[in-house]
Amino acid sequence: MTRLPVQKTYKLYVNGAFPRSESGRSYEAQDANVAWASRKDLRDAVRASREAATGWSGRTAYNRGQILYRVAEVMEGRAAQFRELGISREEVDEAIDTWVWYAGWADKLSQVLGAANPVAGPYFNFTVPEATGVVGVIAPEEPPLLGLAQRLAPVLVGGNVAVTIAPEAAPLAAVTLAEVIDTSDVPAGVVNVLTGRKTELGPWLASHMDVNAIDLAGAPAGARPELERLAAENLKRVATSGEGRSLKHASEFLELKTVWHPIGV
């Protein structure tokens, strides 16, 4: 008997689950039907991120590093699946190495980005980095897997949570990465991945009042001025660059908190 293959359905990734878009819409990309996220889907993703933010930022930096390293471990085991999507071995390897690199920095950010400040008085004065909160990430179109890893890993390493708009033309790598994240000990809601039209989802993400920062590295160049204007309405942090690995990418989504403490108390 001839067996028909089971066709994969590419869905959204919101709050640790893989729902279809509430609108029921889809669009064609990479010879597949991909969920077309709506404004309600985006609101649900932001809400899930906000609920997960305290728990993720409250974990020890060492534990966050362990979890990010687990993402790399699972990606290594599923490397062939990414290559079946047309992603080169070099890009897959570099994306895995990016997760490992940021995982190694998780428990070192405070020492490198923080400081013990000299003061004229009987006080200690410390500056420590803290997570900004919910970060919107518009993923670059190219390279689809590595570009997303280079923007998502530095958001998570400092304790932030993310609502990600996947590459529009090549979204399958982002959805497959969501499957990896779902099996990598990352708590539900810490990462949410939406597929759809950037021109539709981008303004809603930039203007959402419960999003604290936004990465526009993958936004269409002509749309960036308007997205920056919308982001300014609630004083979001805005980042626009992000190739390679750098602590600067992580620091863009961290707040520096200065604490005074009396000596001897």
pLDDT in tens, the chain (265 residues): 788 888 888 999 999 999 999 999 999 999 999 999 999 999 999 999 999 999 999 999 999 999 999 999 999 999 999 999 999 999 999 999 999 999 999 999 988 887 777 887 787 877 888 999 999 999 999 999 999 999 999 999 999 999 999 999 999 999 999 999 999 999 999 999 999 999 999 999 999 999 999 999 999 889 999 999 999 999 999 998 777 898 889 999 999 888 888 886 5
Q: How far lies 184's CA from each of 8, 173, 181, 201, 237, in Å?
A: 21, 16, 5, 27, 28
**Whether 9 contacts 33, CB under 8 Å:** yes
Q: State the pLDDT at residue 117.
A: 76
Instruction: Using the structure block, give the residue that is written with the tokens 């993958």.
Output: 218
Residue 11 corresponds to which tokens in the numbers above? 């869905």
Residue carrying structure tokens 């993923």:
139
Instruction: Please provide the CATH number assigned to the domain covering 33-262.
Output: 3.40.605.10
The confidence score (pLDDT) of residue 262 equals: 81
> Distance between CA 116 and CA 128 in Å, rounded?
9
CB atoms near residue 88 (< 10 Å): 13
* Residue 184: how many other CB atoms lie within 10 Å: 19
27 - beta bridge partners? 34
DSSP string, the chain: -PPPP----B--BBTTB-PPPTT--EEEETTEEEE---HHHHHHHHHHHHHHHHHHHHS-HHHHHHHHHHHHHHHHHTHHHHHTTT--HHHHHHHHHHHHHHHHHTTTHHHHH-EE---SSSEEEEEEEEE--EEEEE--SSSHHHHHHHHHHHHHHTT-EEEEEPPSSS-HHHHHHHHHHHTTTPPTTSEEEE-S-HHHHHHHHHH-TT--EEE-TTS-GGGHHHHHHHHGGGT-EEE----S--HHHHHTTEEEEEEEEETT-
Instruction: Return the structure tokens found at 4.
Output: 């028909």
Q: What is the side-by-side order of every strand in the sheet holding 237-239?
A: 191-194, 161-165, 134-138, 213-215, 237-239
Would you kindly state where each structural domain of the chain is located, as residue ranges?
Answer: 33-262
Q: What is the pLDDT of residue 265?
A: 58
